[in-house]
Amino acid sequence: MKSDRKMTGRDFDALPAAERERIFQEIERGTPERRRTALRPPNAKEQKMFDRIARKMGRPKIGNGVKIVSVSVEMDLLKQADAFAKRAKLKRAELFTRALRGYLAST
């Protein structure tokens, strides 16, 4: 089924099971190297769109960004902190950040 129009997911789902299986097998026969050679680099418009999307991915930047640190915490204290964070619907990092800010503000 060759066409100038790209097939959507709905179009694919509407195909008979045998045709879907044939297309799937055809794709699976291609090695990763063959699939890579069939790809082309993105044009300027596509690259601009990708860059815009990539900037929005990940955690939102807060302040000057974040730095991952390794901190030793007693196991019992960590279990208590995790239980508290779960009850308060906080992530562990958010709990530690709030606690640290509170401590620094009180000194």
Instruction: For residue 33, give its domain range.
Output: 9-56
| Domain annotation covers residue 28 | yes
Question: pTM for this structure?
Answer: 0.45
Count of the separate structural domains present in the chain: 1
In a domain, 72, yes or no: no
Query: Integer distance in angstroms from the first to the last C-alpha of the chain?
Result: 72
How far, CA to CA in Å, does 45 sit from each of 11, 42, 67, 107? 27, 8, 33, 52
In a domain, 23, yes or no: yes
Dist CA 107 CA 104 (whole Å)? 5
* Residue carrying the six token digits 């089924």: 1
- Residues 26/8, Cβ–Cβ less than 8 Å: no
Give the pLDDT score at 3. 57
Residue 15 lies in a domain: yes
Residue 24 is predicted with a pLDDT of 87
105 in a domain, yes or no? no
Tell me the residue length of the chain. 107
Is residue 24 situated within a structural domain? yes
- Determine the Cα–Cα distance for residues 25 and 106; give it in Å rounded to an integer: 65
How does pLDDT run along the chain (107 residues), one tens digit per residue? 455 678 888 999 999 999 999 988 888 887 777 777 778 888 999 899 888 888 777 766 777 878 889 999 999 999 999 999 999 999 999 999 999 999 999 98
Residue 7: the pLDDT is 84
Is residue 30 domain-resident?
A: yes
pLDDT at res. 56: 75
